[in-house]
Amino acid sequence: MKRHSVEFTVYGVEPEDVLSVFIKIEDFLAMLPYLVDYGVKDGKLAASFKFRRSIFIHEDECVVKLARMDSTVEIAFKCGKGQLRIVTEASKIPEGTKVRLTVEYSGKNEWVVSVCLDEMALIAKDYIVEMSGSKMPILMEMVDKLPKDDVVKDVFKSASLILRSNLIGSIESDKTDTIYNFVNKLRPFMKKSTYISINQKNSEEAEFASRLLMEDGIIVGAYVKYQDKQLTGPKAVELLKKIRENATINLWEVR
């Protein structure tokens, strides 16, 4: 048997939120790599896989079964040449939910399928994080203030961060969603230490500007200027949950 596991935290959600992402099993199957077809066949949900290692290909047709236990969801693919299982275990922790996701395969051509398991696990992880409504965590023990608010509030300390950072990417936000949600969508791209600068588009007077610092996926510093308000810390994060603006969001990896 070949197996690949990943462990991760989904912040600000309950285990039930994580496990319920599999209720719409077809949506989950649709994003799985190496899956080439799926649908109901003879009254059963069926899926076809095509795994590839270099020039070697392993193809198989499987019947899909979903089983839900207390804190676990197991998706079993009973195939003609072997069995593939995706097991998701969710447990509650103070920050949200801790998840252990395992993808395992036993059967013919394990040596071909094994190299594909890590990619399947990583994509399943991204799907869970996105679909369970993961929230960006902030350090909860400090009520009014975050440890690096002073860094993002100070323009020259922020400039210093930019000077020792690499640009990871930029996106444009619009008024269809809040700035907070736009930033949250970028979480898969964030690094160990990420500085985020948000500047309102087409406004030289900068009615809205924000700077965030994240470490290990947690907001450790937040500053927002919006109209006549200037906020830092958790209050700034709360304000970002209300603001909908056309802005440029730049992500920087701090070295």
Partner 1 sequence: MKAGAVLAFNSLLEKRIAELYRRLSDVVKDSTAKVIFRFIGADSMKHSEVLKALAEELGYSDTELNEFVGEYRDELVLLDQIGESITNMANSDDIDIKILLETLMMLERVEHHTRGVEELLRECGRLGDETFNKVCRALLSSIRDDEVRHFELVRLIRIFYREMGEE
Window 44 to 73, contacts with partner 1 (CB under 8 A): none
Q: Is 159 in the site for partner 1 (CB under 8 A)?
A: yes
Count CB atoms within 10 A of the CB of residue 48.
Answer: 16
Q: Say if CB 176 and CB 255 are below 8 A apart.
A: no
Instruction: For the CB of residue 152, give the shortest distance to partner 1 in the complex, in Å.
Output: 11
Q: Is 31 in the site for partner 1 (CB under 8 A)?
A: no
User: Of 99-107, 164-172, 173-181, 232-240, which part binds partner 1 (CB under 8 A)?
Assistant: 164-172
Token pair belonging to 194:
């990420």
Going by C-beta distance under 8 Å and a sequence separation of 6 or more, which residues neighbour residue 158? 151, 152, 195, 197, 211
Q: Is 166 in the site for partner 1 (CB under 8 A)?
A: yes
- Considering beta carbons, is residue 72 or 248 the nearer one to partner 1? 248
- Considering beta carbons, is residue 100 or 157 the nearer one to partner 1? 157
Q: Is 43 in the site for partner 1 (CB under 8 A)?
A: no
Q: Is 155 in the site for partner 1 (CB under 8 A)?
A: yes
Q: Is 170 in the site for partner 1 (CB under 8 A)?
A: yes
Scanning the chain, the segments in alpha helix (DSSP H) are 15-19, 25-31, 110-131, 149-153, 155-163, 179-185, 233-240
Q: Is 206 in the site for partner 1 (CB under 8 A)?
A: yes
Q: Is 197 in the site for partner 1 (CB under 8 A)?
A: yes
Q: Say if CB 116 and CB 53 are below 8 A apart.
A: yes
Eight-class DSSP state of 15:
H
Q: Is 156 in the site for partner 1 (CB under 8 A)?
A: yes
Q: How far apart are CA 200 and CA 227, in angstroms?
A: 11
List interacting residues with partner 1 (CB under 8 A). 155-156, 158-159, 162-163, 165-167, 170, 197, 199, 204, 206, 209, 250
